Every structure is written in structure tokens, then in C-alpha cells.
Structure 1
Amino acid sequence: MAGKPKLYYFDGRGKMESIRWLLAAAGVEFEEEYLETREQYEKLLQEGSLLFQQVPMVEIDGMKMVQTRAILNYIAGKYNLHGKDLKERALIDMYVEGTTDLMGLITLYPFLSPEDKEKQLANITDRATKRYFPVYEKVLKDRGQDFLVGNQMSWADVHLVEAILMVEEKSSDVLVAFPQLQAFKERMSNIPTIKKFLEPGSQRKPPPDDKYVETVRRVLQMYFSVKLN
């Protein structure tokens, strides 16, 4: 029997959090090794474990996988979360890419200066309510189904509920104008595997704090300031 997937990343969200979400939604138990020192990171480099010298890295099914999208694609395909045919997979990929764009704004947020954080917060809310959430609201309304694609939960649904909760942490009333998304969030949050992941004590990570930011900077030697364009 294959062992549990092992995740190599920091003790925080970042690009690994969507991988945690997808594994958890699929009901897959996983282990984690947190990068806390530069030496740990350099050891992975010297071993050749990081193909492009980047994390996240996931050991799964005898592979050392890097590149977040590739890892998520593999997990989605392995656990029947990537649609039943090519057309469904194309729709799922489109929705995932849109959600990823929105989540990228939030992932960048903790690394910004206080001044840029204020601008980014307004940007997150604006993009969510004017560009991304209206799309998913219409898809759910037009389909009249519980899920974005097909008749069962897919990677797109998991990614969207993760994004909704992330945006709500920044703006608690962001779903006021989106009744379909409110109902969707409620349904998804009560799927047993996801409900378990949302409970205290799970492997879900809290919003990034200063300690997380400093650890990432120290391990990756990122001592420059991230600036908004």
C-alpha cells in the first residue's frame, strides 16, 4: 500500500493551501514537513528534490512533484475531481484559473507594505464582487445544480469555496449580493470531508501572520520589498 502523500512547505497557507484543501476534500490523509530553516531548503535542492528550485513539493505515488498546478491536476485526476470528459475538464480548468487569479491577490497581501496592503484590500474586494463572483453566481443560477460542473463535486467547487472563505476573511459581507454563492458555500461547507477540514485542529492553516512572512523570507532569502505594480 502506498504511503500518505507528504507535503514540503512552510507552516502556513501560501501555494500549498489549495493542495491541502483538495487532498482533504478527497478524504486523503497527508503528512507535512515544514521548512523552517535555510538548511532544510538547501538540503532539498542538493538532493535534487526541487526540479525548478521551488516549493511546494509533494511526494506522492513514488514521485516528487513540484509546480502547484501540476500537483493539483494530478490529485484531481486521481480522486475523480476533474470531470467525466474533456469538456467538463475544460470548464473546470477555466473556473479554477479564474479563482486562482483572485486567490493570488490574497496570497500576495501579507508580503506588502502597510500602504500597499490598504490598496490591495480594496483591489481584492473590487475584483471579487465585480469580476469573479458574478461569473460563479450566474453559472450556479443558470445550471440550477449544486455544483459548478457536472453532477458531483469537482476541483472547481473546492477551489471556489476556499476562495470565498479567504475573501470573507478580508471583507465579511462580500457575499451579500450573491445568494447563489451563499447557498453554495453552505452546501460545500457541510460536505463531510470539507466540514472536517474546517473544524479546529485540522491541517487547514490560519491567515498568514508576521512569523510566517519572516520564515518565508528567511528560508528563501527574500529580503526585498514586494511592491504593487
Structure 2
Amino acid sequence: MDGKVVLHYFNGRGKMESIRWLLTVAEVEFDEIYLTTREQYLKLLSDGDLMFQQVPLVEIDGMKLIQSKAILNYIAEKYGLHGKDLKDRVMINMYSEGLMDLMEMIMMLPFSTDAKAQLNTIQSKAQDRYLPVFEKALSGPIFLVGGKISCADVQLLECTLMLEENFAGILKDFSNIKAFQGRMTRIPAISRFLAPGSKRKPQPDENYVKTIKEVFQIQLPLK
């Protein structure tokens, strides 16, 4: 695996999935080492690889990076997916952080004590707070910032696909976003990532939740 990007995470989406998406769009090959046991996690800790005792962990360019936002920003900067200047970058970051807030709510669904209530909250916030922002931003431009694809565009596609998995027809009143989805999915790297057999992970299942519980020795659902 010399020189290749290596991802250390569970065999599931979580906070690593946005990193997989961005590497895919940048057309960067990566390998994955899945955390399946408590011992693997303790070994990463004892080796000093997890600064804050958390994953994702990404090995890239001779570094071992943690914290998903920092990792995403590094990849975006390295591969020209972070705008042309400081003003572009701050807009991209605002869009990205809003999308991450929404996606993190979806990520927590498998750990919720009341999934129905959580789904209602997510749907309401998506329709009233988040999606209108992106619908307006895409009323003319084909990308969110600076006329070229950025990490925010990649995250918007990821997020809207996650929403549609949980809420059929949620984009029916957001025609600009739907058209944006169509443009994005025609990008060859994205088209391949969406095809069966790619490194894109499916929706989380009971085994994913069980593995996290065992590795971190935590009681679920989380509070």
C-alpha cells in the first residue's frame, strides 16, 4: 500500500463516507482497513495514531490525519476542489458545514431511541432550513461556488441522495437541486461510484451498529 491513501474506519458510511466521495471525485485510489474489533482500536491508540481517540483516520502523503473536516479540507485543497481564492473557500466551507450538520443527523438515525421522531425532525429541517438555501444558490450557476465543482457540490449530492433514501419525493419542490443531481451523476467518476460494486457503502444496518458498540464499548442508543 506504499503511496496509496489508506482509510481506517468501520465498513459503513459514517463520517468516512464524505471522504470516500471526495477522493472518488478527485480520482484518487484508496485502500481501506476496517475496524472490526476492540483490539484494532486499542492498537491505533497505543501507536499514537488517534490524536483525540477518534476515527476517521486517513493515511495520506506520509501523514496520519484525523478529524473529518480537516481531512476533507486537505483533500479539497490538494485536488483543486476548494475554490480559487479565500472568498471562494469561505463560501464553500459554509455550504459544506451546513451539509455536514444535516448529514450528521441522518448518520445518528440507527442510534436513535425514537427513529420516527428523528425522521420527522430531519425532514422538517431539510425542507425548511437546508434545501431552500441550495435551491436558491443553484438558481443560475451549475455549481455552488465559482463556476467549478468543489467539495461542497460533492457533499450536496451525497446529502440529497441520503435524504431521498429516507424520504421519497423530498426534492419534488426543489427543481434546481434535482437538475444539479442529474448533472453531477453524469460525471464519470461519480457514475462509477454510484454503480454496484463500488466502494460506496450501503445504508447502515444492525451489524454496523453492533460493531461500533463493541469496538468503542459504548451503550447504545447514544444520548
* Aligned twin of 1:19: 19
For these two proteins, the number of residue pairs brought into alignment is 223
Equivalent residue letter for 2:15: K
Match for residue 121 of structure 1 among 95, 101, 119: 119
* Aligned twin of 1:105: 105
8 Å Cα contact 2:8-2:35 kept in structure 1: yes
Q: SS at the partner of 1:32? A: strand
Deviation at 1:224, TM superposition (A): 4.0
Deviation at 1:79, TM superposition (A): 0.3
Deviation at 1:225, TM superposition (A): 2.6
1:176-215 alignment runs, 5 A limit: 176-215=172-211
Does the alignment pair 1:222 with 2:218?
Answer: yes
1:12-91 alignment runs, 5 A limit: 12-91=12-91
- The C-alpha deviation readout for 1:8-50, integer Å capped at 9, x for no partner, is 0000001100000100011111000000000000011111111
Deviation at 1:222, TM superposition (A): 1.2
State the distance in 2 between where 1:25 and 1:76 align.
10
Q: SS at the partner of 1:59? A: strand
- The C-alpha deviation readout for 1:75-118, integer Å capped at 9, x for no partner, is 000000000000000100000011111101101101112xx100
Give me the TM-score of the superposition, normalised by structure 2: 0.98
Q: SS at the partner of 1:172? A: coil
- The C-alpha deviation readout for 1:130-183, integer Å capped at 9, x for no partner, is 100000000111xx1210001211000000000000010000100000000010
State the distance in 2 between where 1:57 and 1:210 align.
23
Q: SS at the partner of 1:130? A: helix
State the distance in 2 between where 1:224 and 1:177 align.
36
Deviation at 1:52, TM superposition (A): 1.0
Q: SS at the partner of 2:49? A: coil
Does the alignment pair 1:169 with 2:169?
Answer: no
State the distance in 2 between where 1:126 and 1:173 align.
14
State the distance in 1 between where 2:203 and 2:57 align.
21
Superposition RMSD in Å: 1.1
8 Å Cα contact 2:111-2:220 kept in structure 1: no
Identity, % of aligned positions: 57
* Aligned twin of 1:139: 137
Equivalent residue letter for 2:215: V
State the distance in 1 between where 2:55 and 2:222 align.
19
Deviation at 1:185, TM superposition (A): 0.6
State the distance in 1 between where 2:63 and 2:211 align.
27
Q: SS at the partner of 2:138? A: helix
What 5-or-longer segments of structure 2 have no aligned partner? none
Equivalent residue letter for 1:189: T
State the distance in 1 between where 2:220 and 2:175 align.
42
Equivalent residue letter for 1:153: I
* Aligned twin of 1:3: 3
State the distance in 2 between where 1:195 and 1:221 align.
38
Equivalent residue letter for 1:39: E
State the distance in 1 between where 2:105 and 2:221 align.
16
